[in-house]
Amino acid sequence: MPNIHGISSFNDQGGDDGGAGGQPQGGWGGQQQGGYSDLEQPGLQVLPAGHVSLLRVGGGAFPELCDLFCPRFRWLCFTTFISFVQIVMLIVCLIVGQIMFGAAFVKGNEMGGPSSETFLYMGAKYLPNIQDGQVWRFVTPIFLHGGILHLAGNLFFQCRVGFIFELRWGLSNFIATYFLAGIGATFFSCLMSPKTISVGASGSLFGLMGADLAYLIMNWRYLPNQEKFQELCIVLCIVLINFLFGTTGGGDGNIDNSAHFGGLVFGFLIGFALTNLLQPEDPNGKYYRLAGW
């Protein structure tokens, strides 16, 4: 998963770059049924109803590209919609950068995009402006990306897990988790890095990882052993690698690790409140919900 980028030093001179418990839904609200028997293969454990595997793809020795990069792809769903909006917003940023700030691509932006002034104009996170009443900057960074490489990396991860998590948790719960985690990431970044200008959906994506950890904890006893241990390993590796990458500066020193941490923590807590319990009668269910709320 690429990282949220602090872009306060992108410039032409090339300086350093700075619902708990609802049944999963399909599409924009269609009811999801059963345990996805179309993914079940001989010799594999049957998945519990309401759970969509993050690991399994279509049959065959060589899965289709869609199964590898965007499994369970659907046109009419939030993941497709938000991805399209983020692509459009980068195009708009490039146009604004060219017309208003002299360049669509600047040397100081290694992600392949415009200057920090462009992103500040378009709604990047910047605490002094938020303190002046521009509270929409808690949300708008989710739609913006520092450049083509930044957007491509985030879209890859978003599409790899987004369609599946949306089916697992339901449309409304997924949207709430995505935006609340993103807002939490911006809030934490304001506390820890108040003077940086930053954009990106990575806080929301870290939030999805946090929410998935909560989902695994709540449903641990109901998931097949191989399934849950492999998924837990994948999630933890993704989080640890990205934090290590952010700690070293990612090669350009402009990664907002505080936003990643904020998104992860907010997503983890939100996950207890909004991701689904596979067994609603679980006696610990009410305690999980209390932890989330």
Residues serving a catalytic function are 202, 260
Question: C-alpha angle 166/62/32, rounded to 5°?
Answer: 25
Query: What are all long-range contacts of 188-193, with beta carbons under 8 Å and residues at least 24 apart?
Result: 188/258, 188/259, 188/261, 188/262, 188/263, 188/265, 188/266, 189/4, 189/125, 189/256, 189/258, 189/259, 189/262, 190/125, 190/127, 190/130, 191/258, 192/258, 192/262, 193/6, 193/256, 193/258, 193/259
In a 10 Å sphere around its CB, with 0-12 CB exposed, 13-18 middle and 19+ buried, how is residue 76 labelled? exposed
The CA-based angle 243-288-4, given to 5 degrees, is 20
Collapsing DSSP to helix, strand or coil, 41 comes out as coil
Backbone angles phi, psi at 31, to 5 degrees: -75, 135
State the angle between helix axes of 171-192 and 148-169 in degrees (0 to 180), rounded to the nearest 10: 130
Return the axis-axis angle of helices 202-218 and 257-274, rounded to nearest 10°. 40
Measured between alpha carbons, how far is residue 183 from residues 157, 178, 274 in Å?
A: 19, 9, 16
